[in-house]
């Protein structure tokens, strides 16, 4: 039975009434804020004055509006916005873990996240185990007395495995461990916190903003967690300071109001492309195809109507063929040879040599990332059949089909 939770309606129901009645909230482009008396300033530093703003690295009214909308969308008590997805991920992890702790993570994550977990955290004496996140026995077997966090992506980058958030949350809760989920590939489609995740992180750079004009991120969780993150004395976000510019948060907030329409179109188009690839006899990964190993799981977890997301991948026999295909697809105006995703135009890249290049080749092969994998972020094309025809011509020209 599909959840009746409707993230788009929750965003829609947020009305803003600012000083001059603008339907779009005014941008607060102030770094600091005045107080009418010094005592209130002191109280604000102590965190006792709800609604008072102190300094924009701490909170900014424009950022607060975006954060509140994200919390509505995720059904979490609170949220905090950051200057990048990586800032959200790294601050949230560092807020949860200290020296001597242990993390279990999906081996398949965005390459930057993998690099942080694999290369950076050991410097701080935080140990990380990399597992196949769909193998729950392996997750359980890796739990130790100092395990503090299970980390995964709802739909993993770039292999498009689907994490069983409910099952992982049950495993985590039983042992008093936190579950953190990166939901960048599936905003609105999946609501990780409703399925049991304690913390949800995002690269807003992708689908949520959708226009490839800025880098941004978000952390959604309990009010206690978000307050701790922004605590002036020991909050990771406050002290590391990856604050989002309010001009940007204002434009992302506007784009959030079209997210539901965009997600439906991304998903619709990706489904058409995935089916066409399948008919052409290509090896395709798309969680909306019934043969995907977690198709049923995703169908049971998703909110109705937003589809199976815009991300898919094909596996070609070699990196040379993948490169040649991408080169000619760009010339034929299929989209851009570019990293990133969730854009209104189609983007494609060879994951092993780009967004997963931080993952050593032997680990890539072990997790099933073949050298000829081409990841597509399917755009909002009005006539997706025309795009499919263009891709088909490229594939025929290279004798791939
Ligand atoms: N999470 C996922 C799943 C990503 O794909 C990316 C970037 O590609 C990030 C996080 C990092 O986000 P940002 O580039 O906004 O720092």
Kindly report the CA angle at 197 between 293 and 289, in degrees rounded to 5?
A: 20
**Ligand 1 atom nearest residue 157's Cα:** 3
Q: What is the mean pLDDT of residues 76-98?
A: 98
Is 7-256 assigned to CATH 1.20.1250.20? no
Ligand 1: distance of its center to the CA of 30 in Å?
Answer: 28
Ligand 1: distance of its center to the CA of 212 in Å?
Answer: 12
Closest Cα to residue 384, out of 278, 274, 304? 274
> 91-117, pLDDT tens digit by residue?
999 999 999 999 999 999 999 999 999
Mutation to probe ligand 1, out of 186, 206, 217, 355 (largest number of atoms < 8 A from CB): 206
What's residue 298's pLDDT? Answer: 98
Q: Which two tokens stand for residue 316?
A: 């070609």
**Nearest-angstrom CA–CA distance, 225 and 199:** 9
Q: What is the mean pLDDT of residues 9-30?
A: 91
Cβ count within 10 A of residue 190: 27
Cβ count within 10 A of residue 135: 10
Ligand 1: distance of its center to the CA of 215 in Å?
Answer: 9
> 277-323, pLDDT tens digit by residue?
999 999 999 999 999 999 999 999 999 899 999 999 999 999 999 99
What's residue 222's pLDDT? Answer: 98
What's residue 3's pLDDT? Answer: 52
> 174-222, pLDDT tens digit by residue?
999 999 999 999 999 999 999 999 999 999 999 999 999 999 999 999 9
Q: Are 271 and 286 in contact, with CB atoms under 8 Å apart?
A: yes
Closest Cα to residue 219, out of 240, 143, 24? 240
Kindly report the CA angle at 209 between 203 and 212, in degrees rounded to 5?
A: 90
Ligand 1: distance of its center to the CA of 216 in Å?
Answer: 9
Beta strands 127-131; 311-316: pairing state: unpaired
Q: Are 309 and 302 in contact, with CB atoms under 8 Å apart?
A: no
What's residue 1's pLDDT? Answer: 44
Beta strands 217-221; 78-82: pairing state: antiparallel
Mutation to probe ligand 1, out of 82, 93, 157, 213 (largest number of atoms < 8 A from CB): 157
Residue entry with tokens 């989002």:
244
**Nearest-angstrom CA–CA distance, 172 and 176:** 6
Domain chopping of the chain, boundaries: 7-256, 261-397
Give the CATH number of domain 261-397: 3.90.1150.10
- Count of CA atoms in the C-beta half-sphere (13 A) of 293: 10
Q: What is the mean pLDDT of residues 80-99?
A: 98
Ligand 1: distance of its center to the CA of 134 in Å?
Answer: 21
What's residue 10's pLDDT? Answer: 96
- Residue located nearest, by CA, to atom 12 of ligand 1: 85
> 232-276, pLDDT tens digit by residue?
999 999 999 999 999 999 999 999 999 999 999 999 999 999 999
- Count of CA atoms in the C-beta half-sphere (13 A) of 376: 33
Q: Are 244 and 63 in contact, with CB atoms under 8 Å apart?
A: yes
**Nearest-angstrom CA–CA distance, 237 and 243:** 8
**Ligand 1 atom nearest residue 217's Cα:** 15
Ligand 1: distance of its center to the CA of 20 in Å?
Answer: 36
- Residue located nearest, by CA, to atom 4 of ligand 1: 110
**Nearest-angstrom CA–CA distance, 329 and 394:** 6
Residue entry with tokens 């969730």:
342
Q: Which residues line ligand 1 (CB under 6 A)?
A: 84-86, 110, 112, 153, 157, 182, 184, 203, 205, 215, 217, 340, 355
Residue entry with tokens 């398949």:
108
**Nearest-angstrom CA–CA distance, 152 and 108:** 8
Mutation to probe ligand 1, out of 155, 203, 310 (largest number of atoms < 8 A from CB): 203
Mean pLDDT of the chain, nearest integer: 96
**Ligand 1 atom nearest residue 215's Cα:** 15
Ligand 1: distance of its center to the CA of 44 in Å?
Answer: 33
Q: Which two tokens stand for residue 8?
A: 């788009």
Query: What is the full DSSP assignment across 204-254?
Result: TTTTTT-SSS---EEEEE-HHHHHHHT-TTT-HHHHH--BPPHHHHHHHHH
- Count of CA atoms in the C-beta half-sphere (13 A) of 331: 8
Q: What is the mean pLDDT of residues 122-144?
A: 98
Query: What is the full DSSP assignment across 344-385?
Result: SS-EEEEGGGTTTTTS-HHHHHHHT--TEEEEEE----S-HH
Determine phi and psi for 203, rounding to 5 degrees: -90, 110
What's residue 45's pLDDT? Answer: 86
**Nearest-angstrom CA–CA distance, 227 and 201:** 16
**Ligand 1 atom nearest residue 216's Cα:** 15
Going by C-beta distance under 8 Å and a sequence separation of 6 or more, which residues neighbour residue 248?
214, 216
What's residue 2's pLDDT? Answer: 46
> 218-232, pLDDT tens digit by residue?
999 999 999 999 999
Ligand 1: distance of its center to the CA of 278 in Å?
Answer: 28
Q: What is the mean pLDDT of residues 66-90?
A: 98
> 31-54, pLDDT tens digit by residue?
999 999 999 999 988 888 888 999
Q: Could you give the strand order of the β-sheet that contains 372-377, starting from the edge strand earlier in sequence?
A: 283-285, 311-316, 372-377, 347-350, 336-337
């Amino acid at each position: 039975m599909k959840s009746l939770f409707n993230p788009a309606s929750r965003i829609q129901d947020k009305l803003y009434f600012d000083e001059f009645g603008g339907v779009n909230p005014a941008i607060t482009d102030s770094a600091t804020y005045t107080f009418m008396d010094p005592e209130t300033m002191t109280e604000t530093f102590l965190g006792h004055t709800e609604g008072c703003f102190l300094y924009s690295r701490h909170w900014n009214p424009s950022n607060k509006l975006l954060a509140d909308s994200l919390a509505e969308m995720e059904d979490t008590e609170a949220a905090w916005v950051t200057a990048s997805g990586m800032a959200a991920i790294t601050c949230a992890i560092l807020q949860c873990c200290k020296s001597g702790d242990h993390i279990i993570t999906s081996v398949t994550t965005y390459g930057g996240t993998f690099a942080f977990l694999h290369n950076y955290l050991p410097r701080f004496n935080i140990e990380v185990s990399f597992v196949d996140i769909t193998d729950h026995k392996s997750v359980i077997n890796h739990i130790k007395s100092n395990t503090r966090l299970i980390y995964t992506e709802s739909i993993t980058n770039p292999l498009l495995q689907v994490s069983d958030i409910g099952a992982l949350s049950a495993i985590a809760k039983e042992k008093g461990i936190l579950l953190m989920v990166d939901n960048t590939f599936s905003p609105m489609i999946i609501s990780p916190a409703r399925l049991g995740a304690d913390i949800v992180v995002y690269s807003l750079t992708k689908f949520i903003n959708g226009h490839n004009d800025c880098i941004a991120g978000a952390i959604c969780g309990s009010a206690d967690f978000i307050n701790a993150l922004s605590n002036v004395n020991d909050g990771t976000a406050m002290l590391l300071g990856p604050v989002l510019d309010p001009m940007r948060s204002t434009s992302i907030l506007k784009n959030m109001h079209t997210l539901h329409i965009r997600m439906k179109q991304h998903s619709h188009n990706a489904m058409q492309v995935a089916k066409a690839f399948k008919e052409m006899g290509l090896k395709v990964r798309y969680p909306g195809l019934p043969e995907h190993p977690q198709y049923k799981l995703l169908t049971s977890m998703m909110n109705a109507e937003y589809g199976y997301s815009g991300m898919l991948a094909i596996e070609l026999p070699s990196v040379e063929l993948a490169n040649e295909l991408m080169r000619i697809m760009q010339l034929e105006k299929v989209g851009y040879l570019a990293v990133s995703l969730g854009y209104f135009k189609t983007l494609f890249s060879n994951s092993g040599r780009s967004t997963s290049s931080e993952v050593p080749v032997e680990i890539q092969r072990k997790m099933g990332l073949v050298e000829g994998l081409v990841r597509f972020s399917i755009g909002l094309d009005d006539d997706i059949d025309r795009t499919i025809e263009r891709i088909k011509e490229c594939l025929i020209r290279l004798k791939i089909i």
